[in-house]
């Protein structure tokens, strides 16, 4: 199993490969990205998806395209003028503006590519050879910063959740809800909201270890020094419930794949089970106490675009007094857009709701059927909607900021002020 959505060879000959997520969880197949048009197509089809991941693939596809071009790798070299640097910049920027249109809602891609366009426009280089290192540094820095920030996101979210539960006077095990895929398959690694789950699980494992080590002691917790008593903290994450996330099933296909890989206790549910599960677990030994979700665009007042189904998840959390956290790097924040009304929500093709894709199952064994030579799963599609029915298929919805308890970033967790407002500008001062 591989959890590396993006593989980039950083020395000549540069190679960008992405894990084709449309084939997961049954087949791990990497496909090469050699141009910005390859990147556009892979992002549009959602072979690679997840707001941070598509920005990284977009930025690195520019490195590979320009490098291949300089080395004469393309049969048709007509799309660039190798002689005149101004012409070259103009042609490159035209291709970058096309790349941005692949998925309009996730701001990470447009933030990254527009920043790169600004750098190209403002550079005073007089040759493509001088421009290439600038493009290379931008793409690799975006990739490396994302990974570094994701671990901070995970730890910041974990600490906030444990402190909040402690302040509520909660004790014991708790469970977590999450939607879509926000893990290693949506980023450079570790993840955003699923990164918080990873950090919570690592914390739980350390508690279990400590408690096992202490089990031999005959101790009265109150006799223990405070630092030792903290070790016996009884607030412990015990299970995550990922939603399958119709219609593209990023939860069932991708998040479940990551959770099984990392052996994190998890139970897959359908999107329609959230309310009944939450009420059923309310007085259980591990009630649901927090929901962590990713983001595709967080605008100035904190309204957040995320996978379709997030808004109703936030409403359910409000109803049950469950904390609702948006987890995202600062590259997902759009201060230019004032509120959710200004967000363009991507409409996906109807067939993505009318059909379900996956590995063909052998009815006798209930196992996926595999090609004997390649071992790859035989994939297929089944229709699940009545022919002729009209379809509405928005890829995202907008959760109003008043339903959001906190926005977890690499620089800390932002909560609302006494007026119920988020001050996201403070993150950039």
Ligand X SMILES: CSC[C@H]1O[C@H](OP(=O)(O)O)[C@H](O)[C@@H]1O
List C-alpha distances in Å: 392 to 186, 206, 305, 307: 25, 46, 17, 14
Positions in 39-58 near ligand X (CB under 6 A) = 49-52
Q: Which stretch binds ligand X (CB under 6 A): 165-173, 181-189, 208-216, 227-235?
A: 181-189
Q: How far is the CB of 315 from ligand X (least distance, A)?
A: 17
Tokens representing 220 are 């009265």
Q: Which is nearer to ligand X, 131 or 295 (CB)?
A: 295
| Using rule CB under 6 A, residue 253 touches ligand X | no
φ/ψ (deg, to 5) at 306 = -150, 175
192 binds ligand X (CB under 6 A): yes
Nearest distance from C-beta of residue 338 to ligand X, angstroms: 21
Contacts of 208 (CB under 8 A, 6+ apart): 236
Nearer CB in complex with ligand X: 36/250: 250
Residue count at the site for ligand X (CB under 6 A)? 16
Residue tagged 């790798």 (tokens): 73
> Is residue 243 involved in binding ligand X (CB under 6 A)?
no
Nearer to ligand X among residue 67 and residue 187 (C-beta): 187
Active site residues: 296
Contacts of 11 (CB under 8 A, 6+ apart): none
Sign of the dihedral through C-alpha 185, 187, 190, 195: negative
Q: Yes or no: say if 333 and 424 are a contact pair by the CB < 8 Å rule.
A: yes
Q: Least distance in Å: CB of 168 to ligand X?
A: 26
Cβ atoms of residues 5 and 186 within 8 Å: yes
Asked whether position 188 contacts ligand X by CB under 6 A, the answer is no
Q: Show contacts with ligand X in window 349-408 (CB under 6 A).
A: 395
What is the nearest approach in angstroms of ligand X to the Cβ of residue 2? 18
Residues pairing with 333 in the sheet: 298
Q: Which is nearer to ligand X, 149 or 395 (CB)?
A: 395
Using CB under 6 A as the binding rule, whether residue 180 contacts ligand X is answered as yes
- CA 53 from centroid of its chain's CA atoms: 7
Alpha helix stretches (DSSP H) within 33-127 = 36-45, 51-70, 85-100, 107-122
Q: Could you give the CA distance from residue 380 to residue 390 in angstroms, rounded to a whole number?
A: 23
Task: Pick the closer one to ligand X by CB: 224 or 356.
Answer: 356
| Cα–Cα distance for residue pair 73/35, rounded to 1 Å | 11
Q: State which residue, 52 or 406, has the beta carbon closest to ligand X.
A: 52
State yes or no: residue 187 binds ligand X (CB under 6 A): yes
Closest approach of Cβ 68 to ligand X, in Å? 27
Which value, to the nearest 10 degrees, does the dihedral of the CA atoms of residues 307, 331, 198, 276 take?
A: -20
Rounded least distance, CB 414 to ligand X, Å:
17
Of residues 250, 304, 331, 399, which one binds ligand X by CB under 6 A? 250
The C-alpha R_g of the chain, in whole angstroms, comes to 23
- The footprint of ligand X on residues 269-308 (CB under 6 A) is 294-296, 306-307
Asked if 198 touches ligand X (CB under 6 A), the answer is no
Q: How far is the CB of 15 from ligand X (least distance, A)?
A: 23
Q: CA-CA distance, 114 to 116, in Å (whole number)?
A: 5
Q: Does 189 bind ligand X (CB under 6 A)?
A: no
Q: DSSP secondary structure string, 397-422?
A: EEE-GGG-SEEEETTEEE---TTS--
Nearer to ligand X, 146 or 164 (CB): 146
Nearer to ligand X, 224 or 268 (CB): 268
Site residues (CB under 6 A) for ligand X, limited to 75-104 = none
- Asked if 22 touches ligand X (CB under 6 A), the answer is no
For 359, the token pair is 């590995």
Looking at 268-309, list the stretches that DSSP marks H as alpha helix, in order from N- to C-terminal side: 274-281
Rounded least distance, CB 50 to ligand X, Å: 4
Interface with ligand X includes 184 (CB under 6 A)? no
Q: What does the block give as tokens for 97? A: 């503006």
Helices 51-70 and 107-122: crossing angle, nearest 10°? 40
> In the complex, which residues of this chain contact ligand X (CB under 6 A)?
49-52, 180, 182, 186-187, 192, 250, 294-296, 306-307, 395
């Amino acid at each position: 199993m591989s959890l590396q959505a993006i593989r980039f060879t950083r020395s000549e000959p540069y190679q960008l490969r992405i894990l084709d997520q449309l084939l997961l969880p049954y087949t791990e197949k990497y496909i090469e990205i050699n141009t910005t048009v390859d990147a556009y197509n892979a992002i549009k089809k959602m072979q690679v998806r997840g707001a941070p991941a598509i920005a990284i693939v977009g930025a690195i596809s520019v490195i590979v395209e320009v490098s291949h071009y300089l080395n004469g790798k393309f049969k048709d070299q007509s799309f660039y003028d190798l002689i005149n640097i101004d012409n070259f910049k103009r042609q490159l920027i035209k291709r970058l503006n096309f790349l941005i249109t692949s998925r309009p809602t996730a701001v990470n891609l447009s933030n990254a590519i527009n920043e790169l366009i600004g750098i190209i426009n403002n550079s005073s280089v007089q040759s493509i050879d001088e421009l290439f290192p600038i493009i290379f540094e931008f793409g690799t820095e975006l990739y490396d910063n994302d990974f570094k920030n994701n671990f901070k996101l995970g730890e910041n979210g974990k600490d906030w959740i444990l402190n909040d539960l402690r302040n509520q006077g909660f004790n014991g095990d708790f469970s977590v809800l999450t939607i879509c895929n926000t893990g290693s398959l949506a980023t450079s690694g570790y993840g955003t909201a699923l990164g918080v789950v990873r950090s919570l699980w690592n914390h739980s494992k350390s508690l279990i270890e400590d408690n096992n080590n202490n089990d031999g002691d005959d101790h009265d917790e109150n006799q223990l020094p405070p630092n030792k008593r903290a070790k016996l903290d009884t607030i412990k994450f015990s299970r995550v419930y990922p939603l399958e996330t119709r219609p593209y099933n990023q939860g069932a296909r991708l998040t479940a794949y990551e959770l099984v890989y990392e052996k994190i206790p998890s139970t897959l549910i359908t999107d329609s089970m959230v309310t009944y599960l939450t009420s059923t677990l309310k007085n259980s030994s591990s009630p649901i106490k927090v929901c962590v979700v990713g983001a595709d665009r967080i605008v100035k007042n904190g309204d957040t675009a995320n996978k379709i189904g997030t808004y109703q998840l936030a409403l359910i959390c409000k109803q049950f007094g469950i904390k609702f956290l948006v987890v995202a790097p600062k590259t997902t924040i759009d201060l230019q857009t004032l509120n959710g009304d200004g967000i363009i929500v991507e409409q996906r093709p109807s067939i993505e709701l009318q059909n379900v894709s996956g590995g063909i199952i052998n009815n006798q064994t209930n196992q996926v059927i595999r090609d004997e030579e390649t071992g790859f799963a035989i994939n297929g599609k089944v229709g699940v909607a009545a022919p002729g029915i009209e379809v509405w298929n928005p890829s995202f919805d907008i959760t109003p900021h008043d339903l959001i308890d906190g926005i977890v970033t690499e620089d800390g967790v932002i909560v609302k002020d006494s007026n119920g407002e988020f001050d996201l500008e403070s993150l950039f001062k």
